[in-house]
Amino acid sequence: MSEISIDTLKTMLANLDDAKKYQSLRDVMETLPAPDLAAVFEDLPAEKLPVLFRLCPKDLAADVFTELTPETQQKLIDGLTDTELKAVVDELFVDDATDLVEEMPANVVKRILGQADPTTRRMINELLKYPEDSAGGVMTTELMELRPDMTVAQAMEAIRRNGFDKETINNCYVTDDSRRLIGVVSLRALVLAKNTEEPIKDLMDSNVVSVSTTTDQEDVSNLFGKYGFLAIPVVDAENRLVGIVTIDDAISILQDEASEDIAKMNAIGPSDKPYFKQSMWDLYKSRAPWLLFLMISATFSSLVIRGYEDALAAVTVLTAYIPMLTDAGGNAGSQSTSTIIRGMAVGDIQPHDLPRILWRESRVALLCGGTLAVCNFVKLLVFDRIAAPVALVVCLTLICTILLSQIIGGILPVAAEKLHVDPAVMASPLITTIVDTTTLLIYFNIAKMLLHL
Amino acid sequence: MSEISIDTLKTMLANLDDAKKYQSLRDVMETLPAPDLAAVFEDLPAEKLPVLFRLCPKDLAADVFTELTPETQQKLIDGLTDTELKAVVDELFVDDATDLVEEMPANVVKRILGQADPTTRRMINELLKYPEDSAGGVMTTELMELRPDMTVAQAMEAIRRNGFDKETINNCYVTDDSRRLIGVVSLRALVLAKNTEEPIKDLMDSNVVSVSTTTDQEDVSNLFGKYGFLAIPVVDAENRLVGIVTIDDAISILQDEASEDIAKMNAIGPSDKPYFKQSMWDLYKSRAPWLLFLMISATFSSLVIRGYEDALAAVTVLTAYIPMLTDAGGNAGSQSTSTIIRGMAVGDIQPHDLPRILWRESRVALLCGGTLAVCNFVKLLVFDRIAAPVALVVCLTLICTILLSQIIGGILPVAAEKLHVDPAVMASPLITTIVDTTTLLIYFNIAKMLLHL
């Protein structure tokens, strides 16, 4: 593993550049993986970008370009001549070129499409039709297609002739005369085949798992995790092969979706930029609206407390346990919600499981609530030395609030999924607010009953 | 995509089994992907397991076996004869066999190792030496190794001869006479090579990214996301090639680690079982201790409130805003913590970035706090109609608590990382408790000062 840090790399490249040692600079860059080189490019001043980029070997240049953030891509494109831009666009895979077109402003898009050759332009326009987060939006059309009646030898010949510009040839897809997908055969199977005259239709696996162009990208990515594929074919409504999604795209999607869920669960509007790439305004925009919304929804808890001011005035010690009770409810609720949300995200839980969810959640809630109540009762009597009836109020509230919180926590994400709202948003932030109000209502009502207030 | 649900599948297979239509049963099973078939096996009664398993075609059987949970694997092994067990173990890849040995009780392990052939047994014992969550623990030793002075034709010949039992041949690794890793060459490059007499050393990529046997599995998996590899070679301290980690393992690791972080962030002890596979006791065990710990640590907030009972009695309306203020602090704190934790998990943020983190977090906290304070001040005066000095107390507390929460939220995960404690545990649950106490202290002290209590 290259143990050199990106900072050291930056300094080294800057020194070589200052000393105009361009040949050494080129030699060093050639030995670096594209993502590391891209990280260095990210922080270059705009005028240095095209200079260093021209020194990159041609095939590395395209890989580095793909790894750059849209902002840096645009700065770089602005510094390139039309001929240089054409060289880059020709080297890009069609799915990466499509992503680029989606991110750039109109005038840059015009320049890019103007430089792309007609076939590439047609493929880009084709891919632009699909929603960005669907299988159609993330797939590439550069795949290796074979026919069922080819022999292994003919297939290998076809791969040698046409494989160069395919995104992957590790899996080849077998289609019939109407381009309908009928099987998949791995390069491994072709290479290891004992009999090179065997027809592909005997060698291929005809139980091929495919997705439709409209399948959500997260569902597609989960299939990779589940089945261990390297690529999944994408078919249209007539089962005609239109593209493939490769595992490198799936891995990024899974990481991004997990980050997005974690952000939402913690009341943050998601951002696809790394932390230090976000501006103050990005950070503010993703955090302030949620904090504001939650603050305003806390009005309900204030209203409840103000409605029971007399009870609180009569037994002032009740106030002391408000944070403990609302936190216990909030923690119990987010335990359930986050479990269900993650289970749905990875495909372990389906919305129709709701009755089973509620049955499990209520039982575990009673167990947890019971344990907490018993421990707390002892603590209140022995350490806090408060009166037994008040301790009883606190502990009964604890049981009820944990039961209710875990039930609400189980229902919310399933309800969200059915209403086509993002379940992750229902986690910690919203459940805390809901549970606060219900906890306080339970607390004061039990107090009024047991303490005769 | 096979649109049939696992439940339908179960019913279908059970019907065929009852009707003793074993040939049809076998035919149906043959068309199913191994993970789907494994899902059906999971819910079979113990006595049915070996019966159906015997009907599986041999190569499918090993794949299905690998996908089963350890509990079901053990039930199944108990029902198999020694000869049948040997057939399964021989078909398993060594890394899967090692996982199996790690999960089974001693008597089953003895049976498994007794049936494995000597080479497999030696490889399993070798792999068992590495910690379970290190690169050594997840790697496989069944990789395709080439020599630099082989020609392309000789390399292809070697692959055809030895490739069958390798976990992947899509990437082949080039080693020198002392087995030191010197390069990587893809099967794609070999197949597409124009000149079959070209030596491998000219075709290979010698800038090969490798990891050491002790590298943490999460760091290895992040490299797949970053560089888009299909496999990463693992080397020992002398740079000798000892194994490879493949991308299908990396995807599961990334998903499991994300699930684990989400669980910890929501005060749940992590479990590697899917929701419905966890027993009541599993669920209780993962939730109750955290709830209990958090309840007990809420003692501090009760103490603070009881310490300021006089102030609260004097201005009773102060009580009404306690939940809103502690929630705002908790939400702001978990926004920061979860952002930093996720950033560290995906490698965007390093512990040495702490000063930059604090500088960003304080500025965004002041912006958020300011916005909330202004909105809240208006709301308190206009809607809640409380006195301006009290409103001022609430709003000043809001600014201070958000600033402090986001700073603490930035420090906690970095401190945890430096102390080798899991940062995810520092997220929502712990930060809520810490922030509750500090918020209340700020609140009552500002109240005492401004309201002259």
Residue A235, beta-bridge partner list: A212, A241
The answer to whether residue B22 is domain-embedded is: yes
Q: Residue B301 burial by CB count (10 A; 0-12/13-18/19+): exposed, middle or buried? A: buried
Mean pLDDT of chain A: 88
Closest alpha carbon within chain B to A262: B262
Last residue of a domain, one of A75, A94, A129: A129
Separation in Å, CA of B8 to nearest CA in chain A: 15
Residue pair A92/A66 in contact by the 8 Å Cβ criterion: yes
Clarify whether residues A118 and A164 are in a common domain. Answer: no
- Shortest distance between the Cα of A183 and any Cα of chain B, in A, equals 12
**Residues of chain A positioned with their CB less than 8 A from the CB of B159:** 191-192
A305 → chain B, closest CA residue? B320
Measured between beta carbons, which residues in chain A are less than 8 angstroms from residue B301? Answer: 323-324
Nearest CA in chain B to A208: B1
DSSP B84-149: HHHHHHHHS-HHHHHHHHHHS-HHHHHHHHHHS-HHHHHHHHHHHTS-TTBHHHH-BS---EE-TT
- For residues B69 and B175, membership in a common domain is answered with no
Q: How far apart are CA A389 and CA B101, in angstroms?
A: 55
Question: What type of residue is B107?
Answer: N
Say yes or no to pLDDT of B18 above 80: no
Could you tell me if the ipTM is greater than 0.90?
no
Question: Considering only CA atoms, which of B200, B135, B207 is closest in space to residue B172?
Answer: B200
* Tokens at B59, concatenated: 């190569």
What are the structure tokens assigned to A215, written together? 């399948």
Among candidates B2, B226, B379 on the partner chain, residue whose Cβ is nearest the Cβ of A35: B226
Q: Which of A66, A206, A215, A255 to mutate to test the interface with B (most CBs of B within 10 A)?
A: A255
Comparing B425 with B409, the larger pLDDT belongs to B409
Same domain, A53 and A157: no
Query: Residue B195: its pLDDT value, please?
Result: 93
B309 & B415 share domain:
yes
Which residue in chain A has the smallest CA separation from B406?
Answer: A287
Q: What is the pLDDT of residues A200-217, one digit of tens each?
A: 999 999 889 999 999 999
A309 neighbourhood in chain B, CB within 8 Å: 316, 319-320
**pLDDT tens-digit map of B313-326:** 888 889 899 989 99
Closest to B368 (Cβ–Cβ): which among A156, A288, A379?
A288
Whether B354 maps to a domain, the answer reads yes
pLDDT-derived band at A367, boundaries 50, 70, 90: very high
Are A120 and A154 contained in the same domain? no
Q: Which of B159, B292, B316 sits opposite A309 (nearest CB)?
A: B316
Cα B211 off chain centre by: 19
Q: Chain B partners of A159 at a C-beta cutoff of 8 Å?
A: 191-192
Residue A257 domain-assigned (yes or no): no
Q: How wide is the angle at C-alpha B119 spanned by C-alphas B113 and B121, nearest 5°?
A: 20
Q: How distant is the Cα of A147 from the closest Cα of chain B, in angstroms?
A: 19
Please tell me the distance from the alpha carbon of residue B329 to that of residue A269, in angstroms, as a whole number.
Answer: 17
Distance CA B330, CA B405 (A): 7
Residue keyed to tokens 């810490």: B434
Mean pLDDT over residues B180-203, rounded? 94
Measured distance CA(B89)–CA(B283) in Å, rounded: 33
pLDDT of residue B197: 95
Q: Per-residue confidence at A4, pLDDT binned at 50, 70, 90?
A: low
The predicted structure's pLDDT at residue B121: 84
Q: How confident is the model over B147-184, as pLDDT tens digits?
A: 999 999 999 999 999 998 898 999 999 999 999 999 99
User: Mind listing the pLDDT tens digit for each residue in B222-250?
Assistant: 888 888 889 999 999 889 999 999 998 88
Buried b (16+ CB within 10 A) or exposed e, B339-366: bbbbbbbbebbeeebbeebbebbeebbe
The pLDDT-based confidence of A2 (bands split at 50, 70, 90) is: very low
| CA A24 – CA A29 distance, rounded (Å) | 8
Which residues in A lie closer than 8 A to residue B42 (C-beta atoms)? Answer: none
Same domain, B120 and B170: no
To the nearest whole Å, the CA of B274 is away from the closest chain A CA by 6
Domain that holds residue A54: 6-129
Q: Which residues of A touch B188 (CB under 8 A)?
A: 163, 168-170, 187
DSSP state of A384: S
Cα dihedral sign, A216-A218-A223-A229: positive
**Residue among B212, B223, B294 minimizing CB distance to A331:** B294
Report the DSSP pairing between strands A241-246 and A231-235: antiparallel
Interface A–B counts its CB contacts (< 8 A) at 351
Q: What is the CATH number of the domain that holds A426?
A: 1.10.357.20
In a domain, A313, yes or no: yes
pLDDT at A1 over 60: no
In the predicted structure, residue B36 carries a pLDDT above the cut 90: no
Which of B156, B226, B335 is opposite residue A268, by nearest beta carbon? B335
What is the reported pLDDT for B58?
Answer: 78
CA distance B175 to chain A (A): 16
pLDDT at B205 over 50: yes
The C-alpha atoms of residue B256 and residue B397 are separated, in whole angstroms, by 40
- B308 with B392, same domain? yes
Which of B246, B263, B280 is where one domain is finished?
A: B246
* Distances from the Cα of B432 to the Cα of B118, B401, B409, angstroms: 55, 12, 10
Are B322 and A320 within 8 A, CB to CB?
no
Report yes or no on A159 lying in a domain: yes
Q: Do B170 and A191 touch (CB under 8 A)?
A: no
Q: Alpha-carbon distance A395 to A451, whole Å?
A: 14
- Asked whether residue A55 is domain-assigned, the answer is yes
Domains in chain A, number? 3
- Statement to judge: residues B435 and B315 lie in one domain: yes
What pLDDT shows up at residue A21?
Answer: 77
pLDDT at B81 over 50: yes
For the cut 80, the answer to whether the pLDDT of residue B3 exceeds it is no
Tens of pLDDT, residues A102-154: 888 888 888 888 888 888 888 888 888 888 889 998 898 889 999 999 999 99
Domain shared by B176 and B235, yes or no: yes
Contact A279, B293 (CB under 8 A): no
SS3 A134: strand
* CATH number of the domain residue A180 falls in: 3.10.580.10
- Which CATH number belongs to the domain containing residue B15 in this structure? 1.25.60.10
Report residue A447 as tokens.
Answer: 């107090």
CA–CA distance, A34 with A41 (Å, rounded to integer): 10
Residue B429 to residue A338, Cβ atoms within 8 A: no
In this structure, the answer to whether residues B314 and B441 fall within a common structural domain is: yes
- Based on its alpha-carbon atoms, the radius of gyration of chain A, rounded to whole angstroms, reads 30
Return the structure tokens found at A234.
């994408």
Is residue A51 located within the same domain as residue A156? no
Neighbours of A103 (CB within 10 A): 14
Chain A residue closest in CA terms to B282: A364
Expressed in angstroms, the distance from the first to the final Cα of chain B is 70
CB contact (8 A) between residue A288 and residue B375: no
Chain A residues near residue B215 by CB distance under 8 angstroms: 1
What percentage of chain B reaches a pLDDT higher than 90?
38
Task: Judge whether B327 and B439 are in contact, CB under 8 Å.
Answer: no
* Residue-level length of chain B: 453
Integer Cα distance of A104 and A99 in angstroms? 9
Cβ <8 Å between A191 and B169: yes
Instruction: Answer yes or no: is A38 within a domain.
Output: yes
CB contact (8 A) between residue A209 and residue B33: yes
Distance from CA of B210 to the nearest CA of A (A): 5
What percentage of chain A reaches a pLDDT higher than 90? 38
pLDDT of A105 reads 86
Number of H helices, E strands in chain B: 23, 6
pLDDT of residue B120: 84
**Where a domain ends, among A70, A99, A129?**
A129
Give the closest-approach CA distance of A107 to chain B in angstroms: 31
Say if A368 falls within a structural domain. Answer: yes
Residue B287 and residue A338: Cβ atoms within 8 Å?
Answer: no
Contact across the interface for A319 and B320, Cβ inside 8 Å: no
Q: Which two structure tokens, joined as six digits, stand for A384?
A: 């806090």
One domain, residues B38 and B101: yes
Give helix then strand counts, H and E, for chain A.
23, 6
